[in-house]
Structure 1
Amino acid sequence: MGGAWWRWGGQPLPAALWWLATAGWVGLLTLVLRQGVAAWGVWPRGARLLVGVLALAAAWWALVTLHRLGVAVLLGALLLVWVADIAAYFGGRAWGRRKLAPNISPGKTWAGAASGAAAVLALAGLWTWAAQWPVVGPWLAEGFYPRLGQGGTAAALVWLVLLTALSIAGDLFESLVKRSAGVKDSSGLLPGHGGVLDRIDALLPVLPAAMAALAWQGA
């Protein structure tokens, strides 16, 4: 787990920080989503502001570090979120019956969540297989998914499912915050897209967790 890539600004960055950030996200999302929309507004304003600042800082930190590991590493982590989101949308529309969180985001279903997880696993398998190709293989082999598999396939699968769950939960969290505030869009910077936070909501918990996964796998 050693090496220069665990450094930030020349200083060693303990892998435990990424595990702590991931555990923090799991705890926060579990608590907030269980409490529901109304409870979020009861939280002290300072606490909510602190959550936002820490979430953005951790995600940016992880983004920069993943990029320093290599473009293929960062691209793999980003693709995980994008593929999960797209597959969840189409899977939910095709087979969705049981709502995942009707009071927060009525459009999300358990079938959509399962579709997202299946698509992520397929992406990981396809990427790992393509890493054996003669032309693009060397570049792909340095990517997120081959690195994640270095510590064992079983652990990698668990991490992929967790990352997918965090992606979906991050999306739900942002929907909850908007409903609590009584707004449709988080900002007007991206008209028709719900605001900037709608574009990065799933990335906020996933990027630090992706770093934690690589650290756990010794990659």
Structure 2
Amino acid sequence: MLKTRVITAIVLLAVLLPVTLFAPIGAFGALIAFVVVFAAWEWARLLKLSGTGPVIYAIVAALALVASTKLGVGYVAPRPLFEAAAIFWVLVGPFALIRKPVLAEGGWRVFLLAAGIVAFAACWHALVAARATGVAFVLSLLLVVWLADIGAYFAGKAFGRHKLAPAISPGKTWEGAIGGWLVVIVVAFIAALTGAFKPTLFFTLLERLGSMRALIALTLLVVFSVVGDLFESMLKRQAGVKDSSGLLPGHGGVLDRIDALLPVLPLAMLLLG
């Protein structure tokens, strides 16, 4: 299992890193669109669309993505799309995690299928806009989620005592979440202080918002990285599966890798707008 996980990670890095670092924005956007469409397919499967339903949904997501480019792309980011996605994650995400409705039935399924189109399109636009700002900027944006996740894992292992959401994800703890937040804040402080590789998300937040509001903004992003992770965990638990799919051997599915990014990306772009 570990060997498979390592091999998959190496292959992913071999594809993603060169495209992110060196390819034109068009090639980067095409690769991210490819990823997002597969995530949409997994989203439909978790919502229990049967037969060719998930494939049709993925095609609709792809067409919606193409249509959404009329709202803007690159430096002209589609703020209304980010706002719609942010409203979903800020209002619906926490509500669903607290109330725990059955998401793959009735009105909830219809709503989430529609909301998913918006969320995936916003994710794509946010990444393309971030890449247009600079390689360091898009990497620092991704780093917020990666650091929060890594910090939460090790802090949870070392100090975890109080379950964060035992009915949804028993392994997550409050201590882990706080540890992840601390790692993000420390790295952000160092990066902003040194001004290295700017423009980065950290330096830009400090420059535009000031130290206190930048701290609040980063805290908000970390909180919603957890919300995105837990929301997908609830979808999987209700669907009775461990992973969103088996597309990435040893790592689960595409949605398992980008769940925390879905709320963080549009929120970050709005905070910087």
Range into which the TM-score falls when normalised by the shorter chain: 0.7 to 0.9
Q: 1:141 aligns with which of 195, 198, 204?
A: 198
Query: Aligned ranges for residues 117-156 of structure 1 at < 5 Å?
Result: 117-131=181-195, 137=196, 140-150=197-207, 151-156=209-214
CA 1:185 to 1:14, structure 2 compared with 1: closer, same or farther past 3 Å? closer
CA 1:126 to 1:102, structure 2 compared with 1: closer, same or farther past 3 Å? same
Q: TM-score scaled by structure 2?
A: 0.69
Letter in 1 for 2:198: A
Query: Quick check: 2:137–2:201 contact (8 Å CA) kept in 1?
Result: yes
- Give the distance between the partners of 1:109 and 1:208, measured in 2 at CA: 26
The 3-state SS of whatever aligns with 2:214 is helix
CA 1:9 to 1:74, structure 2 compared with 1: closer, same or farther past 3 Å? closer
Which residue does 1:175 correspond to in 2? 233
Q: What RMSD over aligned residues (CA atoms) do the two structures have, in Å?
A: 1.9
- Give the distance between the partners of 1:155 and 1:116, measured in 2 at CA: 19
Shift of 1:23: 3.1
- Give the distance between the partners of 1:54 and 1:17, measured in 2 at CA: 7
Query: Aligned ranges for residues 59-70 of structure 1 at < 5 Å?
Result: 59-70=123-134
The 3-state SS of whatever aligns with 2:243 is coil
Letter in 1 for 2:172: K
Query: Quick check: 2:137–2:198 contact (8 Å CA) kept in 1?
Result: no
CA 1:173 to 1:107, structure 2 compared with 1: closer, same or farther past 3 Å? same
Letter in 1 for 2:103: W
What are structure 2's unaligned runs of at least 5 residues? 1-70
- Give the distance between the partners of 1:187 and 1:167, measured in 2 at CA: 21
Letter in 2 for 1:23: I
Shift of 1:129: 2.4
Residue 72 (str. 1) matches residue 136 (str. 2): yes
Q: Pick which of 145-154 and 7-16 moved more.
A: 7-16
What are structure 1's unaligned runs of at least 5 residues? 1-6, 132-136
Shift of 1:141: 2.4
Query: Aligned residues, how many?
Result: 201
The 3-state SS of whatever aligns with 2:172 is strand
Shift of 1:16: 5.7
The 3-state SS of whatever aligns with 1:194 is coil
Shift of 1:99: 0.2
Give the % identical residues: 49
Which residue does 1:55 correspond to in 2? 119
Residue-by-residue CA offset, 1:154-204 (whole Å, 9 max, x unaligned): 111111000000111111111000111111111110122121111000011
- Give the distance between the partners of 1:143 and 1:13, measured in 2 at CA: 17
Which residue does 1:192 correspond to in 2? 250
Q: Pick which of 204-213 and 101-110 moved more.
A: 204-213
Q: Pick which of 168-177 and 16-25 moved more.
A: 16-25
Q: 2:165 aligns with which of 95, 101, 109?
A: 101
The 3-state SS of whatever aligns with 2:230 is helix
Residue-by-residue CA offset, 1:105-164 (whole Å, 9 max, x unaligned): 000000001001101101111111232xxxxx3xx2211111111221111111100000
Q: Pick which of 15-24 and 80-89 moved more.
A: 15-24
Residue-by-residue CA offset, 1:71-104 (whole Å, 9 max, x unaligned): 1111111000000000001101111111000000
CA 1:145 to 1:14, structure 2 compared with 1: closer, same or farther past 3 Å? same
